[in-house]
Amino acid sequence: MGQHTSRSVEALVEQLSKLPTVGRKTAQRLASYVLKMPRSEVVMLAEALVAAKDRVVNCEICYNVTDVSPCPICVSDKRDRSVICVVEESNDVTAIERTQEFRGQYHVLGGVISPLDGIGPDDLRIRELVGRVSAPDRSGSLEVILAMNPNVEGDTTAYYISQLLTPLGVEVTRIARGLPIGGDLEYADEATLSRALEGRVALG
């Protein structure tokens, strides 16, 4: 497909097409939409992009994305500190929070074990999870819910983590199979996620 007659538009299309799942045709449609937007809205969009890049950090405790570390969930007195839900990405935290059912804390791994993609346990925040679980200042019982996506990589990651945590005297559970095999947590509806959390099963 030929380039646009405007170098500025072509540069915008090129940058937009670098986003995941955005092909050149979609990038062209987005660029066309941007051109029709009021300048004030384009400026707001640009400022939001730069602000997100400059200000967003990972929480020093759970590694979720946040503007301030520790994040509001980790410092909240209303959250149950005896339960940690382990998820793959920050989008999964958002999905689970939408259910308004889970009141514990989180731990974001930053992905899953995937040898084909060159991702091993050391590339994830598994060591940090073990550190949280075995912290000397932690007292009382602890449940770790493994909320990996129901696919081969998610199952592999959940099994690996359960083998590390079970010997530490931690109750390790896995969310129920209310989710379709191969599905992603972030795209599941609230009712399905709620049932998956409620029906979690013990591992190990």
Question: Residue ranges per domain, the chain?
Answer: 7-55, 58-202
| pLDDT given for residue 71 in this prediction | 96
Name which of 22-26, 159-163, 173-177 the model is least confident about.
Answer: 173-177
Rounded alpha-carbon distances, angstroms, from residue 166 to 13, 48, 130: 50, 43, 11
Using only C-alpha atoms, the chain has a radius of gyration, in whole angstroms, of 20
Is 8 a residue whose pLDDT tops 70? yes
Percentage of residues in the chain having pLDDT higher than 90 = 72
Is 73 a residue whose pLDDT tops 60? yes
Is 135 a residue whose pLDDT tops 90? no
Can you tell me the mean pLDDT for 177-202? 63
Can you tell me the mean pLDDT for 83-111? 94
| pLDDT given for residue 1 in this prediction | 44
- Report the DSSP pairing between strands 171-174 and 201-202: antiparallel
Say whether domain 7-55 belongs to CATH 3.40.50.2300.
no
Of 104 and 183, the structure prediction assigns the larger pLDDT to: 104
Cβ neighbors of 19 (< 8 A, separation 6 or more) are 27
Can you tell me the mean pLDDT for 4-21? 90
| pLDDT given for residue 136 in this prediction | 72
Q: Is 7 exposed, middle or buried (0-12, 13-18, 19+ CB in 10 A)?
A: exposed
Is 110 a residue whose pLDDT tops 60? yes
Contact indicator for 105, 74 with CB cutoff of 8 Å: yes
| pLDDT given for residue 36 in this prediction | 96
Is 154 a residue whose pLDDT tops 50? yes
pTM for the full predicted model = 0.76
Q: Which CATH class for the 58-202 domain? A: alpha beta
Is 198 a residue whose pLDDT tops 80? no
Q: Is 59 exposed, middle or buried (0-12, 13-18, 19+ CB in 10 A)?
A: buried
Can you tell me the mean pLDDT for 53-73? 96
Confidence of residue 141 (pLDDT cuts 50, 70, 90): confident
